[in-house]
Structure 1
């Protein structure tokens, strides 16, 4: 059982070390909203979301007040819309109408984001799934709170290279349609390999078909807490370093477990999982890169960075799983460039490159995240970057993702401004050697040999 004394123990973390619950995310199944009539689909979707989530914001605010725990975001994840709209949507613009309905429902209940404008195409695409994917640029440009994701590969199925190639064009088109805001639409769009069904974090959240009708998932965060704890272990050996991270992750996760249980009880919705990812913010001190510096690296990207991230990720998971019976989602350490001030500093200092970030994704929670690149980058180059990241996830049996932002009209050395938790990012150079012939081959990269485990 969790009691108030455990929460009081974290007061200093909250007040001085940027500890927060990053999100309460209500997962809602929309499978029962499917219909052959598009108007009825939209009506059912709006009614179900606004009914199920009507008290989500209020309950989140009540828990914040009563326990003194900041809950930064209240969000909703839904069944991948390509499944819900398959029978009614006959062209991309039909899906855009659903995106507008989702946006309106999110505004009605007061959540920050709604995730699940998604398609799962790791082995192949139906015509309807292709319509959804082709609708993404317009959908991201005409909505404020809708987030989109596409799962392009898995360890079990391999990588759908037709979809990878298509997503290069879709990302560029999304950037072009939102160029007045530094191509912000791409910050709401992510592609995955091995996407989890229960991720509460945006932009990749969706409510998987294996989930119950409605659940509560919570995502915690606390890079600043881990950094402060490690400062007290300066000069200690790796064993001490690991123990310090593990114990700190345990305390952070207990806070998330408390919030999840309270939200579940008050909303009368089953508790799903706690995602114990360390998610940085632009706030000074709330940084994964600063953890590396406390560990002994001059800057993120220095030799040893991948080893430091592997250690951090593993110990966060080990501490977290002892604190909650139901840990899920992504869980580990995020490395988004734009949302971490010290990562930005490392890029500007020349310590951190796109290639080093790719190496780090072999051991982090997700992948290439919130990376701004020149707006004139070719679609095939973006597809090549995606293919590399999907391959890392497929072969290593882990979730990997790409959230990359070609900022139209900007080049290396310029700065892109995204605002809020999304922060800002320097435009990073991209390898300019051509990969078009490779990504244009079409078909599917097969699953690795170790996928055959039946």
Structure 2
């Protein structure tokens, strides 16, 4: 980065909420498999601490040296369901506690990878891990998890979809915040640095560092300066801004990797909002000319934003990965919260928007009385969007016990606050109960 770029970056940090949202270290735990779950849990703790012990000190040193905020320091590990080895008791909560203790002792904010990949089918270990999630998340503070229920190549595992609807309900009762720790995916990626869905895929190396950058405020301010520009100029402005933001992400990531003595992996180009004023993806869409997010034209505006961010960022970094695009988590975006509270946007419009953005129904609070089969239906619909369109989609919904439409739930910090959204009162239980597998789409056969 030259002097002018550094000066521009400093201005973005001071005035437009620019930050490195996360430095995430990926750690393979495949060499931690032992004969019993207790022995495996001990090995998991030891390896995470050995690899990540300097992650927080190095990140804080870089923050001070460069003057760039690094909001979260995180670790992602091998999907834990794969660590069963020769064990027969499948007491995965032991491993969750070992991960949590390692996170606490190294000072990292969150650790992801309490995960099962079941798009084609469930092993006994996969199912045991999925059923253990309520107990694991209740017993830990920093552990996050995910389940991949479908893919374009494999189709959709409806038995897993049905089970996850039940698991989400159980996780959220009586502490709804625990449901924030779980994401249900279709086409999950192996190098995602963002929680709660981060895990370290088996095709990755032993250990590496990735960064996730975030700059909704930077993009919004750039577009506010060209209020009447045609779409071509809008795209170019977003691309140039994404280039600068992503360049910073690579600089910080490579510096951290060098100091930690591990490879640098990828930059995730995602625009991740926060509840802070001026740090909103929804506000970017409104700055393009929409009276409020959710009105007609919202999906088109989001498609433009998502594509331009990727085009600009991919030229700035040696390796781009993760989810890369625009996130629309309801509780974490001030303008999105306002739109939902005023009735400008509902679940159906959010679902349409997820067809063109990163991930899917994210940080959505729903009435606590919502049936498990309805939650499974939401998961199935989002997974279908991902499966057919060959993209990553996900669901992170939070059924809040004792709350109904019009109420609010407070999550705090980066997680914000959420209005309880109205859920369609139809019944999907017979559909979900069929079980089995929804086949992969015809365009999946490309080899």
Shift of 1:177: 4.1
CA distance in 2 between partners of 1:334 and 1:299 (Å): 17
After superposition, residues 154-303 of structure 1 pair within 5 angstroms as: 154-178=151-175, 183-303=176-296
Q: Is the 8 A contact 2:365 2:399 kept in 1?
A: yes
After superposition, residues 392-431 of structure 1 pair within 5 angstroms as: 392-431=385-424
After superposition, residues 331-346 of structure 1 pair within 5 angstroms as: 331-346=324-339
Match of 1:388 in 2: 381
Q: Is the 8 A contact 1:138 1:177 kept in 2?
A: no
Match of 1:352 in 2: 345
When residues 86 and 177 of structure 1 are mapped into structure 2, their CA distance, relative to the original with a 3 A threshold, is farther
Q: Is the 8 A contact 2:174 2:401 kept in 1?
A: no
**Matched residue of 1:282: which SS?**
coil
Q: Is the 8 A contact 2:37 2:92 kept in 1?
A: no
CA distance in 1 between partners of 2:224 and 2:86 (Å): 56
Q: TM-score, normalised by structure 2?
A: 0.99
After superposition, residues 102-181 of structure 1 pair within 5 angstroms as: 102-178=99-175
When residues 66 and 410 of structure 1 are mapped into structure 2, their CA distance, relative to the original with a 3 A threshold, is same
Match of 2:34 in 1: 35
Match of 1:330 in 2: 323
CA distance in 2 between partners of 1:85 and 1:6 (Å): 49
CA distance in 1 between partners of 2:88 and 2:68 (Å): 42
1:215-242 deviations in whole A, cap 9, x for unaligned?
0010000000000000011111001100
**Matched residue of 1:65: which SS?**
helix
1:166-188 deviations in whole A, cap 9, x for unaligned?
0000000001142xxxx001001
Shift of 1:342: 0.3
**Matched residue of 1:235: which SS?**
coil
Shift of 1:90: 1.9
Match of 1:90 in 2: 89
Shift of 1:42: 1.1
Match of 2:437 in 1: 444
Shift of 1:349: 1.2
Count of matched residue positions in the alignment of Structure 1 and Structure 2: 447
Name stretches of at least 5 consecutive residues in structure 2 with no aligned partner: none
Q: Is the 8 A contact 2:119 2:151 kept in 1?
A: yes
1:57-114 deviations in whole A, cap 9, x for unaligned?
00000110000000000000000000013432524xx111111111000000000000
Match of 1:379 in 2: 372
Q: CA RMSD in A?
A: 0.8
Q: Is the 8 A contact 2:55 2:260 kept in 1?
A: yes
**Matched residue of 2:276: which SS?**
coil
Match of 1:311 in 2: 304
**Matched residue of 2:173: which SS?**
helix
Match of 2:65 in 1: 66
Shift of 1:4: 5.7
CA distance in 1 between partners of 2:130 and 2:34 (Å): 20
1:184-233 deviations in whole A, cap 9, x for unaligned?
01001000000000000000000000100000010000000000000011
Question: Structure 1 stretches (4+) deviating beyond 4 angstroms?
Answer: none
CA distance in 2 between partners of 1:86 and 1:433 (Å): 42
CA distance in 2 between partners of 1:7 and 1:451 (Å): 44
Shift of 1:39: 1.9
Q: Is the 8 A contact 1:372 1:427 kept in 2?
A: yes
Q: Is the 8 A contact 1:141 1:177 kept in 2?
A: no
Q: Is the 8 A contact 1:7 1:67 kept in 2?
A: no
When residues 4 and 146 of structure 1 are mapped into structure 2, their CA distance, relative to the original with a 3 A threshold, is farther
Name stretches of at least 5 consecutive residues in structure 1 with no aligned partner: none
